[in-house]
Amino acid sequence: MANACLLFPVLSHAEMQHYPTCSEDDLLRCLRGGDEKAFTEIFNRYWEKLLATAYYYMHDKHAAEDIVHEVLISLWMRKAELRIVSLNAYLATAVKFSVFKAIARDKRRKELLKENSLPETFSDIEEKLDARFLNDYLQGVVEELPEKTKLIFTYSRQHELSISQIAGKMDLSPKAVEYHITRALKTLKNSLQKIKSFLV
């Protein structure tokens, strides 16, 4: 967190006092406009929660801090191009994906060491990246879906409602329900392909 202070000014209490009351949407709008105070509020508001998420999987405080710092700085650097529906869901997903990349890099490093017959304990990625991580990661992807698509997908997969039941519940045509389910599945498939690419 100290590194962020080198990039962004330390703000007085008077300057920051109204930002903690801003909604997530208001902070996003300010962020897209290049408001450094809004970024500082986002940093302060989400740092500990994201750090806890990264540490939960990494079990290494220094590595977890590096991951969260990189995700938040990336948010600032890419603020104009990102299309974020939920800031909380976006940051959580970004941290989990960064954790996955870090684990994948560590796996590859250990494989190379093993190939060169250097003495180091090898732990397969399945032991580190268990079903709970994948479930959490994919749930984060679902949270980033447009609200209607997310709701329809939740009805379909978690509540096990049929297309006709969802259509009746949401006053939509079956075709519209099918469209949203297909859209959600395509997004999840693309996310899984990204994960697969890091294992190759």
- Condensed to tens digits (0 to 9), the pLDDT of residues 154-185 reads 999 888 899 999 999 899 999 999 999 999 98
Q: When comparing pLDDT for 19 and 147, which is higher?
A: 147
Distance CA 182, CA 128 (A): 31
- Condensed to tens digits (0 to 9), the pLDDT of residues 55-78 reads 988 888 899 999 999 999 989 998
Distance CA 170, CA 152 (A): 8
- pTM of the entire predicted model: 0.53
Distance CA 2, CA 43 (A): 11
Q: What angle do CA 36, 40, 46 make, to 5 degrees?
A: 140
Instruction: Collect all residues with Cβ–Cβ distance below 8 Å to 153 and sequence separation of at least 6.
Output: 142, 145, 180, 181, 184, 185
CB 60 within 8 A of CB 136: no
Other beta carbons within 10 Å of 111: 13
Other beta carbons within 10 Å of 94: 22
- Condensed to tens digits (0 to 9), the pLDDT of residues 123-151 reads 444 454 455 566 777 777 888 888 899 99
